[in-house]
């Protein structure tokens, strides 16, 4: 049994070491002088320390009617539905592939386990009053509903967000809506897993050319998956969402809003790695002024962020930048211009820890614009989790016992398989009455202890002995433990015995536990044949396999002796040469 300390709950709205940042941004003609948090941000997937990671995929369901790599939605060009998987009742659809990391070759993606999967979708479908539901070409669209088909599915499932997940304006804040549904069970099921996901019938409208109202139509979806793999590095993962709104107002004037983050602790030593995932809406390729920043740890300047698919002056530029192990995650359509939808998953450049440093417990982000209007409804941040991990392996030699006074050697190997040092490490075995340590263990270090135990008469009264030990260590005032057990089993052989060579074959018995296998000269299917064995001593082996593939072997001797040369009245059966027999008679009888 394994126990690993879990970090404390966040003291604020975010507590992170690996975070998923999901931003949905859009542009509108409405003017607000400052940002407004329409719905407060809360954790959707509470922080959990795992060996694993998150991934972020998605795609657009609206595109330019006449595709232009540098065209903007909402200006002169119209937008039309994307429908890569047309069918009865399907008016828009797109796909993206879910792929898990091999962590630089050290992990097998097939061994990954899904911990959380959240489906997000967003869009703008009306210039004025925007209802929750409407009909297009006989198909009913609803802002809170989409169709989802996983890699193992043959048909679509309806996925529905509640009215509280997340925000569905009808005639304000640009009519950009944001939706969420937990699809963890779906992704973990037989219809899910890795492979191609299709999302269809997002509540969107097409827009004719030259129908520009200052804000274009856009729409798409994203899937955030948190997954665990025992061969991957440690990360703390969290997903949280809400609905924030910010507007530039007057063109040329920069408006921004801060996002403070606290409750995490970066590694004591070495590089601090941070990962962001981000989804945004209505970020045109040709309209600059969007930015996303982080305050450096010295609190002296803002560092403007970007990735290879965008720029520091146009962070939200309709790009999809989603890679796993250096390879782009497949999607259809796969286009440079995603017409208002941004999906980004990237590492923050932190050379020599100039942005985030060791032992840091808080950070501040800032988002802003001098032209656009943003809605933000899912946010997170990412930092690798550097933690110690205590491991204990207890073993016994031999793993079986047969007699009082037999010696069993127990070995305890305690190891720090994490990446931070452990102090005051002890190993306690109450059944043996032994405690080893304390010692300190650096990352990767191990220590082996041993103890010789002598089998007692009481031990012969039970068929097995289960022995449990616990290793304990501390890191930054927190306790880490790991327990391991070892079971030894009792076995026994029959006593040695003689048999005449002309005796009938006999069924062997007396091995403990019963049900094992006998082998040796003259033995076949548990039957000993003296004739087949021949005269002399024959070593017979008894073998029994206990649970856990623990094999018990013992040996006894059967002596085959010649046929008798005499018979004695009063003794039932022949007397073989070299054997002794005892009988009794009346007083005065001659021997």
Using the 3D structure, point to which of 379, 401, 428 is the last residue of a domain.
379
Average pLDDT over every residue of 477-499: 95
pLDDT band at 74 (very low <50, low <70, confident <90, very high): low
DSSP-assigned letter for residue 153: -
Other C-beta atoms closer than 10 Å to the C-beta of 451 total: 15
Same domain as 426, residue 312: no
| Long-range contacts, stretch 348-352, CB < 8 angstroms, 24+ apart | 348/274, 348/275, 348/276, 348/294, 348/305, 348/382, 350/271, 350/272, 350/273, 350/274
DSSP-assigned letter for residue 185: H
Q: 419 vs 435, which has greater pLDDT?
A: 435
Using the 3D structure, point to which of 490, 515, 547 is the last residue of a domain.
490
48 in a structural domain: yes
Helix (H, G, I), strand (E, B) or coil at 533: helix
Helix (H, G, I), strand (E, B) or coil at 581: coil
Instruction: Report angle CA 422, 426, 427 to the nearest 5 degrees.
Output: 130
Residue 321 CA to residue 327 CA, distance in Å, equals 10
pLDDT at 399: 96
pLDDT in tens, 287-305: 888 899 999 999 999 999 9
573 in a structural domain: no
The alpha carbon of 340 is separated from its chain's Cα centroid by a whole number of angstroms, namely 33
Q: How far is CA 36 from CA 41, 180, 243, 247, in A?
A: 12, 20, 9, 9
227 in a structural domain: yes
Same domain as 203, residue 314: yes
Owner of token pair 């030699």: 397
pLDDT at 219: 94
Average pLDDT over every residue of 442-446: 94
Number of H helices, E strands in the chain: 2, 42
13 in a structural domain: yes
Q: Could you give the number of structural domains in the chain?
A: 3
pLDDT of 42 strictly over 50: yes
Domain that holds residue 359: 2-379
Q: Which two tokens stand for residue 299?
A: 């609190």
568 in a structural domain: no
Q: Which two tokens stand for residue 364?
A: 């501040």
Beta bridge partners of 524: 527
Residue 231 CA to residue 227 CA, distance in Å, equals 12
Same domain as 406, residue 353: no
Same domain as 79, residue 203: yes
Q: What percentage of the chain has pLDDT greater than the value 90? A: 62
> Could you tell me the pTM of the whole model?
0.73
Average pLDDT over every residue of 544-555: 95
pLDDT in tens, 136-148: 999 999 999 999 9
Same domain as 524, residue 452: no
Please state the three-class secondary structure of 200-232 as a single string. Answer: ECCCCCCECCCCCCCCCCEEEEEEEEEEECCCC
First-residue to last-residue Cα distance in the chain: 71
Owner of token pair 């091999």: 102
Same domain as 288, residue 428: no
Same domain as 312, residue 212: yes
Residue 7 CA to residue 5 CA, distance in Å, equals 6
295 in a structural domain: yes
Same domain as 506, residue 446: no
CA atoms within 13 A on the CB side of 380: 38
570 in a structural domain: no
Using the 3D structure, point to which of 467, 490, 513 is the last residue of a domain.
490
Q: Which two tokens stand for residue 98?
A: 């879910």
Same domain as 188, residue 84: yes
Same domain as 550, residue 428: no
Q: How far is CA 285 from CA 139, 261, 319, 338, 449, in A?
A: 31, 29, 8, 9, 64
pLDDT in tens, 456-469: 999 999 999 999 99
Same domain as 12, residue 32: yes
- Which element (helix H / strand E) includes 542? strand 536-546
pLDDT of 32 strictly over 80: no
pLDDT of 384 strictly over 50: yes
pLDDT of 491 strictly over 90: yes
Q: 232-236, 407-411, 442-446, 482-486: which has the minimum mean pLDDT?
A: 232-236
The CATH number for 433's domain is 2.60.40.10
22 in a structural domain: yes
Same domain as 84, residue 174: yes
CA atoms within 13 A on the CB side of 77: 17
């Amino acid at each position: 049994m394994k126990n690993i300390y879990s970090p404390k709950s966040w003291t604020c709205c975010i507590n992170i070491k690996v975070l998923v940042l999901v931003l949905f941004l859009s542009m509108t003609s409405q003017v607000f002088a400052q940002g407004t948090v329409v719905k407060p941000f809360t954790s959707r997937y509470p922080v959990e320390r795992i060996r694993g990671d998150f991934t972020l995929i998605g795609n657009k369901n609206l595109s330019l009617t006449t595709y232009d790599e540098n065209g903007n939605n909402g200006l002169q060009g119209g937008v039309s539905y994307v429908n890569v998987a047309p069918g009865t009742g399907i008016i828009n659809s797109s796909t993206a592939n879910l792929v898990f990391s091999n962590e630089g070759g050290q992990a097998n993606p097939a061994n990954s386990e899904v911990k959380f999967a959240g489906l997000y979708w967003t869009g703008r479908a009306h210039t004025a009053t925007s209802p929750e539901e409407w009909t297009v070409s006989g198909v009913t669209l609803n802002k809170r509903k989409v169709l989802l088909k996983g890699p193992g599915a043959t048909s679509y499932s309806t996925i529905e967000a509640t009215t509280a997940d997340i925000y569905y304006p009808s005639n304000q804040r640009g009519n950009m809506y944001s939706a969420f549904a937990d699809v963890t069970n779906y992704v973990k099921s037989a219809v899910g897993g890795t492979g191609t996901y299709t999302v269809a019938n997002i509540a969107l409208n097409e827009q004719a050319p030259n129908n520009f109202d200052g804000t274009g139509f856009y729409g798409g979806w994203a899937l955030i998956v948190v997954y665990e793999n025992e061969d991957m590095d440690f990360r703390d993962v969290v997903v949280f969402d809400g609905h924030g709104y910010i507007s530039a107002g007057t063109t040329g004037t920069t408006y921004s809003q801060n996002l403070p983050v606290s409750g995490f602790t970066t590694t004591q030593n070495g590089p601090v790695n941070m990962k962001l995932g981000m989804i945004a809406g209505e970020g045109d390729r040709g309209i600059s002024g969007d930015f996303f920043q982080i305050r450096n740890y010295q609190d002296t300047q803002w560092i403007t962020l970007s990735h290879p698919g965008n720029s520091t002056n146009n962070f939200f530029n309709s790009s999809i930048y989603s890679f796993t192990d250096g390879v782009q995650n497949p999607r259809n359509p796969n286009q440079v211009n995603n017409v208002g939808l941004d999906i980004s998953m990237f590492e923050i450049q932190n050379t020599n820890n100039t942005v985030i440093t060791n032992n840091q417990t808080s950070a501040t982000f800032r988002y802003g614009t001098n032209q656009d209007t943003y809605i933000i409804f899912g946010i997170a941040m990412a930092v690798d989790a550097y933690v110690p991990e205590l491991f204990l392996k207890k073993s016994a030699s031999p793993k079986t016992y047969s007699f009082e006074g037999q010696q069993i050697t127990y070995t305890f190997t305690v190891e720090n398989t994490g990446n931070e040092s452990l102090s005051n490490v002890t190993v306690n075995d109450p059944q043996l009455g032994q405690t080893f340590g304390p010692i300190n263990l650096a990352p990767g270090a191990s220590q082996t202890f041993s103890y010789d135990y002598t089998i007692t008469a009481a031990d012969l009264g039970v068929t097995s002995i289960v022995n449990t030990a616990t290793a304990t260590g501390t890191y930054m005032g927190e306790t880490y433990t790991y327990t391991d057990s070892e079971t030894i089993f009792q076995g026994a052989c029959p006593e040695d015995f003689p048999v005449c060579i002309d005796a009938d074959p006999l069924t062997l018995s007396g091995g403990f536990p019963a049900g094992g296998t006998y082998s040796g000269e003259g033995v076949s299917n548990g039957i000993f044949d003296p004739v087949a064995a021949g005269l002399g001593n024959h070593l017979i082996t008894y073998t029994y396999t206990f649970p856990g593939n623990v094999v018990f072997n013992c040996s006894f001797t059967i002596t085959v002796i010649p046929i008798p040369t005499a018979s004695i009245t009063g003794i039932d059966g022949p007397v073989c040469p070299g054997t002794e027999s005892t009988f009794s008679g009346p007083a005065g009888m001659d021997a």
